[in-house]
Chain A
Amino acid sequence: NAGVTQTPKFQVLKTGQSMTLQCAQDMNHNSMYWYRQDPGMGLRLIYYSASEGTTDKGEVPNGYNVSRLNKREFSLRLESAAPSQTSVYFCASSPGTDNTEAFFGQGTRLTVV
């Protein structure tokens, strides 16, 4: 089973460039999440989607947009990348109602120069 798949695994951007991080899950989960993790720090929630068709801001949404394309896919877009967005980005999914056990992807290491 693939679980949660993120693409790409690594990316280098120049300041001001845009890009979309892709995430897909094959567990028929309702909820999906995007987190960022800076070196030596904990995870911070950027955006989440409780169910298909809904998205909500997390702790640090500024500079990001998301799209819940369908039940399987949840993408994160950086419209104008900044060096402060250099981080490891994790996508996760969970069944949602009555069960918040989350399953994480392998992460995308993003560097903005």
Chain B
Amino acid sequence: LAKTTQPISMDSYEGQEVNITCSHNNIATNDYITWYQQFPSQGPRFIIQGYKTKVTNEVASLFIPADRKSSTLSLPRVSLSDTAVYYCLVGDVIGASKIIFGSGTRLSIRP
């Protein structure tokens, strides 16, 4: 399983775009990149998943460069309710089931 490295914490302000970068230098060919969000006292919630280039949904965008050794989660125009811990995961989705979380990035949004 590829190890991931992401900042321990980040601060931003309401209305700003927030980009959280995750490094995964040992990513394997079959590995996908997945991001989860966790609010206090709740289980994590899936945000977005991608393999290469760019993926966008109603919540976020995920940018993956050609070498796939890193990825960036982009949250447009954040609000106070986006204050949470964000986890970057890397793993094989083809026939695999092991989902390992790292330590995550604690994002704090200020008014």
A residues near B (Cβ < 8 Å) are 4, 30-31, 33, 35, 41-45, 48-51, 56, 58-59, 90, 92, 94, 96-107
Bound Cα distance from A98 to B49, whole angstroms: 12
- Tally chain B residues at the interface, Cβ within 8 Å: 25
B101 with A35: CB separation less than 8 A = yes
Bound Cα distance from A43 to B85, whole angstroms: 11
B97 with A45: CB separation less than 8 A = no
Q: Which residues of B contact A43 (CB under 8 A)?
A: 44, 87, 101
Residue of B nearest to A107 (CB): B43
B91 with A41: CB separation less than 8 A = no
Residue of B nearest to A51 (CB): B97
Which residues in window 2-43 of B have CB below 8 A to A? 32, 34, 36, 41-43
Residue of A nearest to B87 (CB): A42
A106 with B42: CB separation less than 8 A = yes
B76 proximal to A (CB < 8 A): no
Bound Cα distance from A43 to B93, whole angstroms: 19
A31 with B102: CB separation less than 8 A = no
B99 with A97: CB separation less than 8 A = no
Q: Which of B41, B91, B99, B100 lies at the interface centre, i.e. has the most chain A CB atoms within 10 A of its CB?
A: B99
Bound Cα distance from A105 to B38, whole angstroms: 12
Q: Chain A nearest CB: distance from B67 CB in Å? A: 22
What 9 pairs between A and B have smallest CB-CB spacing? A104-B43, A50-B97, A43-B101, A31-B97, A42-B103, A101-B46, A100-B93, A90-B43, A42-B101
B99 with A45: CB separation less than 8 A = yes
Q: Which residues of A contact B42 (CB under 8 A)?
A: 104, 106-107
